[in-house]
Structure 1
Amino acid sequence: MYGIKYNNKYSWDLGLKVLERNISTPAKKKVTEEIPFSNVIYDFSFLYGSQIFEPRKLEYKFFVDEMFKHNLEAIRIVVENWLYSSNEKTELRDEVTPGYHFLAECIEIDFEDLKTYGTIKATFEGYPFRIKNEYEGEMLWDDFCFLTDILQQTTFIINEAREISLINNSIVEVVPKIIADNSFEIYRNNVKYLIPMGTTESTDFKLNTGVNKLTIIGNGNIQFKYKIEVI
């Protein structure tokens, strides 16, 4: 038996057994413009650096084993309040996909009373991507997958200048949290980024998909904290 953890509570703590699960693959959201009287179509889907995707739909059907109707209704109340208690996309962990989590909000619940047992179908609307539970460079060996994961250094000691490479194995750009004990300059493709001392997280500096070659100028320690996002 497997279950899910949502809004800091496990489904099996409520006596729920997952009968069915359906995790859809999000569709690409294409932003195009057709030139009148021609066959030319411009695709603006990558205008901001990454392909845009539609929200992901997740569906779970739970089995509730309870022969007394009043107890079945009590369980229904508890489960529906648990699933509807969040009004924003909340971390959802599915034991079938270890090492990753979704960000999703329950938007619909369907309860079926079958006298001596019941079923509850929960529909979630989620962020398109699965997100790694651990930051790059901090991965637990038990969660390491040789097909998808890589081992890499994300904390560096800088003495005046150093060239480094950071790999973003995501399908999209990610914004790293940069922790620095001094101010630094980062150069990438002849573009300079000023990094102040302390913790910085800004959309002005994103890690592109693949290998990011950076030159860091300064003295001290700098760390890049980011999580991989995949379909």
Structure 2
Amino acid sequence: MQYEFRNLDPVEDNTNLNIASEGFIFNGYDTRLNGWWLIERNAPLPEEQEITEQVPYMQGEWDFSMFNGERFFKNRSITYKIVAFGRRYRNRSALENDLKRELTRVGESTLKDTHDPCYYWRGKCKSIEIEDDEDKHVLTATIEFNCYPFAFTNHVEGSDIWDDVDFDHWIWQDVEFDVNGSRNVTIQNIGSRPVISTFEVTGTIKVQGGAGEVEVNQSTGPITEYVMDMGSNRFTLTGNGRIKFVFTREELL
């Protein structure tokens, strides 16, 4: 029995109805370009690393899970169910083998999901379960990834590449500044946690902010790490030259 499957996704590519518009890419393997159709995605929030204490004769418990205003999470599980239609047994077998080979031959790698095109995950394939329906000529694969709890933006802050702008959660801001003497600047981190920034520098510039004071130049800037807190980060820049704050947001999606 032969089946035809029409892609009903909102962003359907009407020029080629035989290629899915939704799926994932892991270590270069694109499910859409290999005959798979995404039918289910499950990405629950990661479990928090809770630290609690109960005190005798006290109602409830003390929660010490947060540190410096930040919550901490365990790795998260992201699961996909994909299907391939209308293939004979040998074709289904080859497709299954290719899927397993491509997803399991590496450890941690980049996982991109068309559900969130402005972001990517870091993780590894944990399991692949296969169901083969001979009567309907349908192959179903359920793939689980074990991932870092936060998603990363595709590009460093300030890149503002049009195709990678999440208009529902974005800010247009300068992260590169000319310094001739002293000036005050503010940079926003609208992500879900503090992140590390490094620097691209010409000249020598001293950076003073909430995480302390560092002096950077062309050689030391790329290896100097500075904490970019959530929200507004105010800096005093002193010296002569040009400095760029280089950091990637992390989002709890």
Name the CA distance, whole Å, in 2 between partners of 1:44 and 1:162: 39
Aligned positions of 1:1-231 closer than 5 A: 1=20, 2-35=22-55, 38=58, 41-47=61-67, 50-88=70-108, 90-115=109-134, 116-189=137-210, 191-198=212-219, 199-203=221-225, 205-231=226-252
CA-based RMSD: 2.1
Q: Secondary structure at the match of 1:182?
A: strand
Shift of residue 86 of structure 1? 1.7
* Number of corresponding residues: 229
Task: Select between 40-49 and 60-69 the one with higher mean Cα deviation.
Answer: 40-49
TM-score (norm 2): 0.83
Task: Select between 28-37 and 170-179 the one with higher mean Cα deviation.
Answer: 28-37
Shift of residue 66 of structure 1? 4.4
Cα contact 2:154–2:164 (8 A) shared by 1: no
Alignment gaps of 5+ in structure 1: none
> CA separation of 1:97/1:190 partners in 2, compared to 1, >3 Å: closer, same or farther?
closer
Cα contact 2:210–2:233 (8 A) shared by 1: no
Alignment gaps of 5+ in structure 2: 1-19
Name the CA distance, whole Å, in 1 between partners of 2:159 and 2:77: 29
Q: Secondary structure at the match of 1:71?
A: helix
> CA separation of 1:141/1:114 partners in 2, compared to 1, >3 Å: closer, same or farther?
same
Cα contact 2:118–2:166 (8 A) shared by 1: no
The amino acid across from 1:151 in the alignment is: W
Identity %: 25
The amino acid across from 1:222 in the alignment is: I
Shift of residue 16 of structure 1? 1.0
Name the CA distance, whole Å, in 1 between partners of 2:49 and 2:183: 39
Shift of residue 42 of structure 1? 4.6
